[in-house]
Amino acid sequence: MATYSDILDILYQETNENPNSWGDVLNAQQQLIETAFDTASVVLTGTSYTMDDSRGADATDHYRYGIVNITGNPGGAANVNVPVGITSTTFVKKAWLVIDNTSGGHTITFKTSTGTGVALVAGTPMWCYCDGTNMVNASAYASLAATATTATSATTATTATNATQLGGVAAANYAVTATLLDTRNTWTKGQVVQRATLTATTGVVTPSVTTSNAFYSEWLGAWQLANPTGSPVNGDTFSIVIEQGAGAPHTISFGTQYVFESGIAPTLSTVAGQVDILLFEYCTNTGLGNAWIGTILKNLS
């Protein structure tokens, strides 16, 4: 008498059964195991559909498949029912990845034939798990999408009119409030900014304050230090360490936003290997306009 496994409908071999053809039987069952990772197509033409639970070598056994793609137009709210297990009158504890690709905008519920189920979200793959009685939603993200995108309580929504709590977590525990923005920060460890190396493009060196605010450049020509890019804001700072390269001395010129003491742009040290550092702060609330106020320390040794 043929017997089958509860979950995947796999045919068990009886003692001394199929002595000359057991290999063919085994190969057929191994092929069926692969369907557990494949997609079954369920086409709805009405409001109730029960998945096939054929036995043995029937590759159309929807119950065995791990992915269920539901298409068609049922014409109304529809149920896709999972039948009872093969060897019992209870439902097998099994999971499916279910996708509602139906048309018509109707609610599709994936459920056990006698229990409750999961209302699918159109176009959203959802993990559905049978607990032996009912079908339950195993997709946390899908339950959020099915519940709400706007709510007065933010425990189940991504946007809320009252967002003092999100997911039951007080806002003060995850968000920067206006009060915190006005509070000075105290660091218990040193803060390191990765220094970026700059080279010239057609004689122009351009720092970006979104890349770093600490730079190094070996100066190899009569180059210009261009106005920084990266949408600087009032109070931005940056420094650049400049080392005279081979063929020194090399001169430096500056973009239109740089200002210096007495309006006189600094010059670099003149010997190859000598190191200077220029320091700048961006200021927008003086009569200088949007200006990078700078100074230089020369010939460091």
The model's pLDDT over 16-30, given as tens digits with 9 standing for 90+, comes to 777 777 677 777 777
The owner of tokens 């915190």 is: 180
Beta-strand relationship, 95-100 and 223-225 = unpaired
Per-residue pLDDT at 86: 58
pLDDT class of 77 with cuts at 50, 70, 90: very high
Q: What is the mean pLDDT of the chain?
A: 82
Mean pLDDT of 47-53: 84
Which pLDDT belongs to residue 251?
Answer: 97
Distance separating the N- and C-terminal Cα atoms of the chain? 94
pLDDT at residue 290 in the model: 94
Pick the residue with more confidence: 21 or 229?
229
Query: pLDDT of 169-220, one tens digit each?
Result: 555 555 555 565 667 788 888 989 999 999 999 999 999 999 999 999 999 9
Question: Cβ distance 268 to 276 under 8 Å?
Answer: yes
Region 238-262: what's the mean pLDDT? 97
pLDDT score of 148: 44
Query: Residue 142: its pLDDT value, please?
Result: 45
Whether the predicted pLDDT of 1 surpasses 60: no
What is the signed CA dihedral for 19, 9, 91, 128, rounded to 10 degrees?
A: 150
Check residue 172 and give its pLDDT.
Answer: 56
